Chain A
Amino acid sequence: MFWNEQLETIERKALEKLQLEKLRKALAAAATTPFYKKVFADNGVDVSRITTLDHLRDLPLTTKHDLRLSYPDGMVAVPRTEIVRLHASSGTTGKSTVIFYTAKDLADWADLIARSMMATGTTRNDVFQNMMGYGLFTGGLGLHYGAERLGCLVIPSSTGNSLKQIELMKDFGTTVVHITPSYAMHLADVVSENGINPPDLGIKKAYLGAEPYSEGVKKKIEGQWGLDAYNSYGLSEMNGPGVAFECEYKNGMHLWEDYYIMEIINPDTGERLPDGEEGELVLTHINREAMPIIRYRTRDLTRIIPEKCACGRTHRRIERIKGRTDDMLIVGGVNVFPSQIETVLMNVPEVGNNYQIVLDRHNNLDRIHVRVELYNKMFEGDIKALDALRKKIVERLKALITVNPKVELLEPGSLPPSMGKAVRVIDKREI
């Protein structure tokens, strides 16, 4: 099912031509902003001489730090009166970053989300319950307007208040949800505790987002609710959700190349890597008037899937994000992504929904504690079984991280249930 068949199945040649046109426009707009004016001058960039897509690699990269430096509006390319909305990232480490939108930017973003949702088979006949935070965060409002554009009945229920969420699902026959993976698992427990079998609610699809999750968690949620979960990708710097989305084939996310130019680089050297190789995703937004961002380092690690997708879309796919370059933990000299630990845990049936990774340093040695909640229904009632379970988890983790982890088994519900983004990693090491 296509939202805009012509654009989604456009020939590669024509797509590249369109990208170049839009890139030149974006560069011209960027050159008027205080930030890029200086960057281009410092690096001897003359945007009028960018005449092929390949020239893009000569331009400097933009980082999150640059966005903070240009706070609040050093990258804005339109008069203040043209701007109709802003969103801001949470800014847990320093000043938040702000993104601005014109009315056209918002309309185009909604259109892209409508396209993304339709690629998964959602139509105007669906009832869409949006359990993401509304506000400065892009996840809530982003999908809200996209779903309206598509014509769904939108329930803007936002986060929390589980009993109300369940009531809405029942009373209005919700078929599609947008939810963080940790809350999806928590809500499934609440539904069960209220004597309802989650699949009986009839929810067909879930868009999971806002926090990293493993394929194991996705499978678990699909099983708990009896639905299809679709991976998607977005970041506020590139509007928010809807940058890349899985289609009905659920085999990699189509990155919408008429809005974004993607590159994969070696995160250490900045060198561009060929299609198919894993590296850091770099994106250029070529479809935003208010705030063009050129060659943005997303910090997300993935690879481009060069092969064609069976759905017929010509926009190339990226693999699910392996991790963020800044999420990577180095434990005793070994690189570990929390998602790898999560995959190990979620493949152990006795493990419940919640877990926590705590890192500390003792006598200059890194120690890793993995705290996992026991799954109620798998409790066998004796210490022997618990010891065996703990040993099993230790061994599986040790195979992955080589450092001997300490595994703590916790009662169900003892870790704080998350309504928004789950905090899974606590790093107490002082460096």
Chain B
Amino acid sequence: MPQQVSVFAENRPGKIDRLTEVLEQKSINIRAITISDSGDYGIIKLLIDKPAEACEALKEIGIAATLKDIVAVKIADKPGGLHKVSSILARKGINVEDAYGFTIRESGQAVFVFQVENVQKTEKILVDEGFTILSNQELYYI
């Protein structure tokens, strides 16, 4: 099951600089990054190729970081692509807590990445509906 790294961050300059410096030193590649903000502080989420290693490296320098399980589903990169997935999730009563997406270069496909309460259940629902769930390796090395 893929994971992303969640980092606690005060809202101030230099924060991303410190994070990315560590990742560069450890030769960790970032697939995607999002920042959600709540005024004084926020959460930075990093989709990276070596999440466990990155999380440890960040903790070592005193950053509050943790691993979160995610669902990554492959969708078509065309109008209505995301809607196909979201309608299933809605029908099954699955609440998306936090999400983002990105396209896979020149493939006509995209990835929708999100956090939910029950990852395994959600993955099964989507597989049953014919969607492709990306594994760790597939997701980290797209």
Residues of A whose CB lies within 8 Å of any CB of B are 193, 374, 376, 379-384, 386-387, 408-414
A409 to chain B, nearest CB (A): 6
> How many angstroms from the CA of A380 to the CA of B64 in the assembled complex?
9
Residues of B whose CB lies within 8 Å of any CB of A are 6, 8-10, 36, 38, 40-43, 59-60, 62-68, 97-98, 115
B132 to chain A, nearest CB (A): 26
Picked from B38, B41, B63, B66, the residue with its CB within 8 Å of the CB of A381 is: B66
Assess whether A411 is in contact with B10, with CB atoms less than 8 Å apart: yes
Picked from B43, B66, B68, the residue with its CB within 8 Å of the CB of A383 is: B43
Q: Which residue of B lies closest to A374 (CB)?
A: B64
Assess whether B62 is in contact with A381, with CB atoms less than 8 Å apart: no
Name the residue in A374, A379, A387, A413 with the highest tally of chain B Cβ atoms < 10 Å from its Cβ.
A379
> How many angstroms from the CA of A381 to the CA of B66 in the assembled complex?
6
28 contacts between A and B (CB under 8 A): A193-B60, A374-B8, A374-B64, A376-B63, A376-B64, A379-B8, A380-B66, A381-B66, A382-B6, A382-B43, A382-B68, A382-B98, A382-B115, A383-B38, A383-B42, A383-B43, A384-B97, A386-B43, A408-B41, A409-B8, A409-B40, A409-B41, A410-B10, A411-B8, A411-B62, A412-B62, A412-B63, A414-B10
Query: What 9 A-B pairs have minimum CB-CB distances, sorted nearest first?
Result: A381-B6, A379-B64, A381-B66, A413-B62, A381-B68, A376-B64, A383-B38, A412-B62, A379-B66
> How many angstroms from the CA of A193 to the CA of B63 in the assembled complex?
12
Name the residue in B38, B64, B65 with the highest tally of chain A Cβ atoms < 10 Å from its Cβ.
B64
Name the residue in A193, A376, A414 with the highest tally of chain B Cβ atoms < 10 Å from its Cβ.
A376
A162 to chain B, nearest CB (A): 14
B5 to chain A, nearest CB (A): 8
Known A-B contacts A374-B8, A386-B8, A411-B8; A379 and B40 likewise in contact (beta carbons under 8 Å):
no
B122 to chain A, nearest CB (A): 17
Q: Which residue of A lies closest to B15 (CB)?
A: A411
Picked from A193, A382, A386, A409, the residue with its CB within 8 Å of the CB of B97 is: A382
Name the residue in A193, A386, A410, A411 with the highest tally of chain B Cβ atoms < 10 Å from its Cβ.
A411
B63 proximity list for chain A (CB < 8 A)? 376, 411-412
> How many angstroms from the CA of A297 to the CA of B7 in the assembled complex?
50
Picked from A193, A382, A384, A411, the residue with its CB within 8 Å of the CB of B64 is: A411
Assess whether A383 is in contact with B10, with CB atoms less than 8 Å apart: no
Inter-chain pairs besides A376-B59, A379-B64, A382-B97, 15 sampled, C-beta below 8 Å: A193-B60, A379-B65, A379-B66, A381-B67, A381-B68, A383-B42, A384-B97, A408-B40, A409-B8, A409-B41, A410-B41, A411-B62, A412-B63, A412-B64, A413-B62
> How many angstroms from the CA of A383 to the CA of B43 in the assembled complex?
7
B96 to chain A, nearest CB (A): 13
A413 proximity list for chain B (CB < 8 A)? 62
Known A-B contacts A376-B59, A386-B38, A412-B62; A381 and B10 likewise in contact (beta carbons under 8 Å):
no
> How many angstroms from the CA of A411 to the CA of B15 in the assembled complex?
11
> How many angstroms from the CA of A412 to the CA of B9 in the assembled complex?
10
A410 proximity list for chain B (CB < 8 A)? 10, 41
> How many angstroms from the CA of A381 to the CA of B60 in the assembled complex?
17
